[in-house]
A and B are shown apart, each in its own frame.
Chain A
Amino acid sequence: AQTVTQSQPEMSVQEAETVTLSCTYDTSESDYYLFWYKQPPSRQMILVIRQEAYKQQNATENRFSVNFQKAAKSFSLKISDSQLGDAAMYFCAYRSMNSGNTPLVFGKGTRLSVIA
């Protein structure tokens, strides 16, 4: 079974600075998807960024980018120019590409605080 590990329960960053959230995963599969989801306090979970394992190029969405190291099974999220609205719980998640019906496997999350 696949597992996702987020080793940082809490992180903080100064406004306008850059922060990196760590995520590692364990799988024997070669084809899969990786995601970062953001869950603000009392608000719904939304997708931040996703990466297909077969793509070598790291995904980027505006201020959010990932460092995907397939051999190391690492998938970190970098947030540049941090804003107060970035404060949230961030979940790393894995999904197999081999079956159409497999669910997401979530890590335990990292709570990010942004300091003004």
Chain B
Amino acid sequence: DAMVIQNPRYQVTQFGKPVTLSCSQTLNHNVMYWYQQKSSQAPKLLFHYYDKDFNNEADTPDNFQSRRPNTSFCFLDIRSPGLGDAAMYLCATRKGTGANVLTFGAGSRLTVL
């Protein structure tokens, strides 16, 4: 089945130790999003790619970076995780032409010790 897959589902890291979260999709969608969702809060958009064009939200900290080497994969790099970065990170995709429904992955839950 076509889907959005996030790895790992659970990640534990130490304060300041870099971490990379991955997202892959078989939908051939040209738009990919990274959201941060803290407990009982709405997802907060960090950045998104429209094809290779990278769009960073104005309030996304520099500590968060992203890479999209090809259509299928997108990575979220947290260079120096702090305790406040503990959250669920959601990847979502969308077909850029016409369709407006986002397809979400199951999320990666990050714990920072």
Contact = CB atoms under 8 A, between A and B. Distances in A.
Interface string A98-112: 001101101111010
Q: Which of A33, A47, A95, A103 has the most CB of B within 10 A?
A: A103
Interface of B: 4, 31, 33, 40-43, 45, 48, 50, 55, 90, 92, 96-97, 100-102, 104-107
Contact of A109 (B31, B41, B101, B107): B41
A97 B100 CA distance: 9
Closest A-B pairs by Cβ, 4 of them: A106-B42, A45-B104, A44-B106, A108-B42
- Residue among A9, A45, A89 having the largest count of chain B Cβ atoms under 10 Å: A45
16 contacts: A33-B100, A35-B101, A37-B104, A43-B106, A44-B4, A44-B104, A47-B101, A50-B100, A100-B96, A100-B97, A103-B33, A108-B41, A108-B42, A109-B40, A109-B41, A111-B40
Interface residues of A, number: 23
